[in-house]
Structure 1
Amino acid sequence: MALQMLTYLDAVGNAEPAGQPAGALYFHLYRPTVPYQPAAAAAAAAFKAYKMVGLLVLPAEEAEAQALALAFDAALAHGGTSPMVPIGLKQNGDFAATTKAITPKQLAWWLNHNRHSIVRAARGILAGTIDLAPIQFKQEATTITNSDYQTIMTFDPATGFDRYRRVAPMSQRR
């Protein structure tokens, strides 16, 4: 779960307290490279590249959650995976394992966790902790290796001074 996405959700929730989020979805704006193929297949491949990423907030009650899933994509009525949003239904009506969704109660837990993380970081900064400590998640350090600011960052874990901050995966199911 991305800190940035949770922060946006929290900001919207604070601005519109009467509203209930149905999720937080986005897709990358880019021109995907599609291998040469007939026009219809190329269009389908390009459409697939723009599938939304993120998290849906579905009611804890199964029937309500399924109804909302069908509202997101009516093509799921007979099962399958949505080409637009990260949700899938089995033919028996159960959610597919690929569905990226949490309940409103789980969202509240994540938002609270996010607020505490931001406060903890702010207190550290105000106390003078400004070390460069990029996260390393699942043996990958993409926050450093894919950064636009790599030319001004001097980070070398081999020096013994620079260290990754290892982040353990947290379950979405809280």
Structure 2
Amino acid sequence: MKPLLLIDIDGPLNPYAAFMLRRIPDGYARHLMRPTGWDYGPPLPVLLNPDHGRALLALADRFELVWATTWMDEANEWIGPRLGLPPLPYIDWPSMHGSAPDGTYWKTQYVVEYAAGRPFAWVDDEIAEQDRQWVSGQGEGAAESLLLWIDPRIGLLPADFEALAAWADGRRGGDGR
């Protein structure tokens, strides 16, 4: 069974913090969107790079791709088609932005629950050392994991896709984390 690749949107695929720098990173196009709840004011500007869709599809032979984003199923409507991705499963968060164990990011416990012991890689701009420690401290049933922090000013880079592929290939070879 392939490991999961859990994909956040805002930060990794949409480098939203680039707007503060007033510079759109190379390869990105600006899209205006109105996901659920964004029915006021101007549309939401989202930066997307079509190369990311091709890079994710290239990883699909190594991983099962899953949205791990607050966009949930709307990622399949607003983001996936613009990147050339088919509809993907998504984590249906039981609670968003709630309390988290041991100072971890609110998504972390739900990511581990979703993986249910299955190996996973997770890309997100909110991952911190506390999250890595908490995930690795989950005991004997803990899954092999790669938690990859992505700079929200620049998004996913080719080196990040290479790291994901290398991790998946190393797992297959029995190299562990």
Whether these two folds match at TM > 0.5 is no
Bigger radius of gyration among the two: 1
Q: Give the TM-score, by structure 2 length.
A: 0.24
More helix by share: 1
Q: Give the TM-score, by structure 1 length.
A: 0.24
RCO greater where, 1 or 2, for CA within 8 Å and sep 6 or more?
2
